[in-house]
Structure 1
Amino acid sequence: MSQPASHVLMVRPARFHANPQTRASNHFQRPAANAGASVTLAAQREFDGYVAALQHAGVRVQVFRQPAGLDTPDAVFPNNWFSTHTDGTLVLYPMAAANRRLERRADIVAWLQQQFAVRELLDLSPHEQQGQYLEGTGAIVFDHAARRAWLCRSGRSQPVLLAPLAARLGYQMQVFDAVDAAGRAIYHSNVMMAIGPRFAVVCLPAIRDVGERQRVQAQLRRDGKQVISISLAQMASFCGNILALRSVDGGAVIAMSSRAWAAFSVQQQAMLAAHGRIVHAPLDTIESHGGGGARCMVAELYLPSAPAHCSAAGHAVAAAG
């Protein structure tokens, strides 16, 4: 069974604000009025607290800084533009918003290639020119244990691109439709679904087609998951945006925001805690202004030959190139 990642990459925001280019599709963004520089400072404090919480749980964290000269308000969500895989594949993804395409960084790609055994760089970003988008592990929820690639269909999560990628990686594609309480398409799969080795959190009420909902639930159970169904209100509190990780000593870790943890019922909290150590941190500013949370902020490093010098005791900080 493939294990969750123990080594992750995160990008510290230098200039953070709600992204006007993604507001039309990301209805999880609820920025405060008259937001200014204080939003960036709050986001930085939240970021640093989350990094510290992950480190304290024994997760290795590599931090890069967002380049200050670029208007990339969503740079704090690096999982959307790249993913890594245990066979040595590094995938670059096509992004819908023009300013999100600027998040792809040659210095991060070079660092990955220098530090890990990257055997193939699979660049899907040219599909942007044809209006085709697949925004990384925001669009795709990989179940590494069952080797399935789940996708909630939207304009930013297109099955036409997932089909060949899943086949290339040796995963079976599972596609479904889901909407929020207002009937709008869920923009990214990872805000309504999270899958760990033995559990799955999913907003089943968001899958309106009864047959499709039953199919999703049945498949997850066949794959040996304890299915934890969350409500539409819990999804809006980022309960679906959580991530299974592991510490350097092999212990199971489940990362989420403090808002998400508080929104789970006591019974659901107990169910999750049975699957790993719960790590949560306040991310209210990032969630409200960015429309993404704890899972979106973390890009897992699955590539072989992790660098020995990167330890859980501290995080390396790489400046912009």
Structure 2
Amino acid sequence: MSLLTAPDGSPRHVRSSPQTPVAVIVIRPHHFVANPETAEDNSFQDKMAGAGQEDKVEAYHEVSNVIKVLRSHGVKVHVFEDESCQTPDSVFPNNWFSTHAGGHVAIYPMYAENRRKERRTDIIELLKKNYRVQDIVDYSGFEEDGLFLEGTGAMVLDHIERVTYVCKSRRSDPILLERFCSQFNYEPITFGAVDSKGHAVYHTNVLMCIASDLVLVGAELVRDNGDRATLMRRLKDTGRKILELSEEQVASFAGNMLEVQGANGPFLVMSKTAYRALSGEQITQIEQCLPIVTVAIPIIEKAGGSVRCMLAGVHLSKRS
């Protein structure tokens, strides 16, 4: 199916949305490995991943292909290389910074000590050079106090309704969340989420995806009836189409997707793992809202994250 046409063959309306980043930042790792410091609370992570050179080479090629596919659809992709052996999770940059309309950038405190080395001044300098950055709010100093808030992994942001959805974990401190919401003008919706084995969901963005007209959410993992009712009520208030995901689909990264802006309009990018986990009816309902583009990243997914984790969205105005 062309990105120019809807499933019924009619032309798609090309539009921009506050929910859709104007560009994305991607980190290409040269020494990929699943992070041993995050294995304790990331049940999505393959503890044995990245032990050999073969996985490192494959991960490099997977990220290169993601870049190629996104650019082929007209997405503006800023690529940074990571040749360090000390930053195993650098392929997931959305955890340490986020960008916001009005020229705001946030830098976040990270739970795992080796993840703190992922922060890069060259990325911030690129943002300041190419986009209108008014201020940078740096929360990273809270690491010394044992307080963590891991960016748009811990928070799923509704840029249209100004709501942030957060599942409770050691990576989303409530004090920092309240401060972020106050400074960036978001309404917080918090909830607990655990799988059937009792493991807490470590990041909200593996549980849910918010696009301009669509929400995918693993509501069944929100075990508390009150939390789940509050979450679903707030999502329904947005007027978006809501697709509920099963625990098995969440485990296959079906919640870890991102709407991005291509040359011919927005589309939803997801991994082939996630796509295969969806039912035919769910795929049809998604495509009624926007096209789907898939990429194969099975090695990267061994580290416990998928496509959305790999893409740090740029929600800033371009410099002329």
Measured in 2, the distance between the counterparts of 1:303 and 1:70 equals 31
Deviates more, 1:258-267 or 1:172-181: 172-181
1:140 corresponds in structure 2 to 155
- Which letter does structure 1 place at the counterpart of 2:168? R
Offset at residue 32 of structure 1 (A): 4.3
SS at structure 1 position matched to 2:137: strand
Distance 1:178 1:44 in 2: 32
For residue 271 of structure 1, the aligned residue among 263, 271, 285 is: 285
Alignment pair present for 1:262 and 2:276: yes
Call closer, same or farther: CA 1:122–1:292 in 2, change over 3 Å.
same
Please state how far the C-alpha of 1:56 moved relative to its aligned partner: 1.8
User: Equivalent residue for 2:194?
Assistant: 179
Equivalent-residue separation in structure 2 for 1:124 and 1:248 (angstroms): 34
Partners of 1:26 and 1:34 in 2: CA distance: 16
Aligned residue among 44, 64, 70 for 1:28: 44
- How far does residue 306 in structure 1 lie from its aligned partner after superposition? 4.9
User: CA contact under 8 A between 1:7 and 1:61: conserved in structure 2?
Assistant: yes
Match of 2:308 in 1: 295
Alignment check: 8 A CA contact 1:81 1:103 kept: yes
Matched-pair contact (CA < 8 Å) for 1:19–1:73: yes
Which residue number corresponds to residue 154 of structure 1?
Answer: 169
- Residue matched to 2:88: 73
> Following the alignment from structure 1 to structure 2, what is the Cα–Cα distance between the partners of residues 295 and 120?
25
The aligned residue for residue 184 of structure 2 is 169
Structure 1 residue 194, shift from structure 2 partner: 0.6
Structure 2 CA distance for aligned equivalents of residues 126 and 175 of structure 1: 23
Is the 2:95–2:150 contact (alpha carbons within 8 Å) kept by the matching residues of 1? yes
Matched, 1:253 2:267: yes
Q: Deviations over 1:201-251 (max 9, x none)?
A: 1101100011211211111011112111001110000001011112144x1
Task: Evaluate the alpha carbon distance shift between residue 33 and residue 292 of structure 1 in structure 2; reply closer, same or farther with a 3 A threshold.
Answer: closer
Give the 3 Å change call, closer, same or farther, for CA 214–161 of structure 1 in structure 2. same
Q: In structure 2, do the counterparts of structure 1 residues 306 and 42 end up closer, same or farther at CA, with 3 Å as the change threshold? A: farther
For these two proteins, the number of residue pairs brought into alignment is 304
Structure 2: runs of 5+ lacking an equivalent? 1-16
The equivalences for 1:1-321 within 5 A come to 2-32=18-48, 35-66=51-82, 68-249=83-264, 251-288=265-302, 290-306=303-319
Deviation at 1:159, TM superposition (A): 2.1
Deviations along 1:138-173, whole A, 9 cap, x unmatched? 001000111101111100112211112112111111
Instruction: Give the deviation of 1:9 after TM superposition.
Output: 0.5
Using the TM superposition, give the Cα deviation of residue 2 of structure 1 relative to its aligned residue in structure 2, in angstroms.
Answer: 2.0
CA contact (8 A) 1:50 1:280 kept: no
SS of the aligned residue for 2:124 comes to helix
**Percent identity, aligned pairs only?**
39
Between the aligned partners of 1:58 and 1:98, the Cα distance in structure 2 is 36
**TM-score after normalising by structure 2:** 0.92
Q: Which amino acid aligns with 1:298?
A: L
- AA at the equivalent of 2:76: R
Kept in 1: contact 2:102–2:316 (CA 8 A) = yes
Aligned to 1:314: none
Deviates more, 1:240-249 or 1:19-28: 240-249
Q: Which runs of 5+ in 1 are unaligned?
A: 308-321
